Amino acid sequence: MGSKMSEDVFTPRNYKPAIIILTIVLISAIVILLNLPGIEGFDAFDVMLLPMMNAIFNVFAFLFLIGALIAILKGNVKVHRRFIYAALVATVLFLITYVIFHSIASATSFGGEGFMAVLYYFVLITHITFAISIIPLALTSITHTWNREFERHKKISRWTMPIWLYVSFTGVLVYLLIRPYY
């Protein structure tokens, strides 16, 4: 009896429905949580640690993305991929702590005036706008590599990388600007 060598046949998957559903669920959950009053008398832990954790996760995401960018510019795909996955993990941890914070605490208002208020709201509005877009962009970029669609990955990543970097950086900036008002 002869043995047949089976070829490894790759079939791309359609991740688009999952990306759309995940994007809608995440954005909807965040919008709902931002409009809830928070939990009165919550004292299981100091909830004000969570915004600092959010900022730390954003710093890590930013640094991992810079590492990924440097790696891919040097042609090191393996290191690039590892940094991207690390940035994705940091971003997911940010989302978890962000959702926990906003499910427990009421929204904090910015108390600054003049130029600082203009700066804060400009950064906040652009941060939110790009954060909404980064969910489907990052997921689409990553799933293109899973489907071995490397040219499509390169094309969309030229948008994804700078937007994700901006969102991570401005997430830290928003925290630093609003921190005195917690």
pLDDT tens profile 60-99: 999 999 999 999 999 999 999 999 999 999 999 999 999 8
What pLDDT score does 4 carry? 54
- Write out pLDDT tens, residues 3-53: 555 567 889 899 999 999 999 999 998 888 888 888 888 888 888 899 999
- The pLDDT, as a whole number, for residue 6 is 53
Residue 2 has pLDDT above 60, yes or no: no
The predicted pLDDT at position 5 comes to 54
d(CA 17, CA 22): 8
Residues 6+ apart with CB under 8 A from 59: 168, 172
Query: Residue 103: pLDDT above 80?
Result: yes
Amino acid (1-letter code) at residue 68? A
Confidence of residue 127 (pLDDT cuts 50, 70, 90): very high
d(CA 135, CA 155): 17
Residues with Cβ < 8 Å from 99, sequence gap 6 or more?
29, 30, 33
**Mean pLDDT for all residues in the chain:** 92
**What is the reported pLDDT for 23?**
95
Global pTM reads: 0.88
Side chain identity at 149, as an amino acid letter? E
